[in-house]
Amino acid sequence: MELKINEFQTPAPITFNYDELKTAVQEKADEYASVVYTEDKVKDAKKDRAELNKLKEALNDERKRLQGEYMKPFEDYKGKTDELIGILKKPIELIDRQIKDFYEQQKDEKKKEIELHFRTMEKPEWLQLESIWNPKWLNKTYEMSKIRSELKELVEKIQNGLATLAELPEFGFEACEAYKSTLDLNKALNEGKRLVEIQKRKEEQERARKEAEERRKKEEEKKLTRQVKEEPAPQPPAPDFMNPPVETFPVRFEAEMTQEQAQELAKWFKERNITFIAI
């Protein structure tokens, strides 16, 4: 199947009185460039415009006609080639799809082989193949021996990273957990440092709180001590001979007062242990 173009005669150049027309047209253009039409010359202006338009339309119409004639052979050729190209598209697309399916099948088989090898490797239980996957492994030129070697190196690197983080004096567990999610040793170390700084700030805050509490307690103790020193010592009770009994006697009186005043008077008697009888 091969395209063969038969010999054909290229259309000859189209000749016409180009030089003559160009000279005449240029003279007219130069002439009219400086013409100023007055009111009485409007009729002449319309005549000149009609003459120029007639020539312009003749040139344009003939150009279109000749363009159509010259393009007929090419349009015929273009229509036939477009038809052939349309017929060829279908088998090309079919073959292309089958080739892609074939390569996808190869990639699927290779991926299964990589997954099987990964399952048989000694590695941390939490480690997933997706987290260390390299899309280039599915390329046809990427050999399985190289993939196995890279997987081994990756697993060893991860195990070494975990061992390093586990030896951290503080927050080693948290750093390891961060490493499991990122597989980035620097990020995991930074996370450990961040947690250490948080713990230090927490301890400093707690220490400051305890110191403030201790100062408050000491101030209260000092205040209580000063109060004890300033209060007079309690005096022993005086002997009975120094507190002779007070002699009481009845006093009778009558007064007019309101109920509120009577209640206040009764309260006053009660506060002073005065026995009274309401009449």
143 and 94 together in one domain? no
Residue range of the domain that includes 49: 40-120
C-alpha 264/C-alpha 256 separation (Å) is 14
- At 91-121, the pLDDT tens digits run 999 999 999 999 999 999 999 999 999 999 9
Q: Say yes or no: 81 and 171 in one domain.
A: no
Tokens of 69: 């004639």
Q: Residues 103, 168: one domain?
A: no
What percent of the chain is modeled with pLDDT above 90?
27
To which residue do tokens 């948080």 refer? 198
What is residue 151's three-state secondary structure?
Answer: helix
Per the confidence metrics, is the pTM higher than 0.75? no
Question: Are both 174 and 213 inside the same structural domain?
Answer: yes
pLDDT in tens, 3-23: 777 777 777 888 888 899 889
Whether 30 is in a domain gets the answer no
Q: Do 195 and 219 share a domain, yes or no?
A: yes
User: pLDDT category, 153, cuts 50, 70, 90?
Assistant: very high
Residues 80 and 143 in one domain: no
Q: Are residues 138 and 102 in the same domain?
A: no
Write the DSSP string, 80-113.
HHHHHHHHHHHHHHHHHHHHHHHHHHHHHHHHHH
For 228-268, write each residue's pLDDT tens digit: 656 555 555 555 555 566 666 677 767 788 878 877 888 88
Q: How many domains does the chain have?
A: 2
HSE value, Cβ hemisphere, 13 Å, CA-based, for 111: 13
Residue burial 33-47, b: 16+ Cβ < 10 Å; e: rest: eeeeeeeeeeeeeee
Q: Is residue 206 part of a domain?
A: yes
Residue 214 counted as domain residue: yes
Contact 111, 144 (CB under 8 A): no
Side-chain-facing half-sphere of 123: CA atoms under 13 Å: 19
Rounded CA-CA distance 148/118 in Å is 8
End residue of a domain, out of 209, 225, 241: 225
The domain boundary, picked from 105, 120, 135, lies at 120
Give me the mean pLDDT over the 197-222 stretch. 83
Note the pLDDT of residue 47: 86
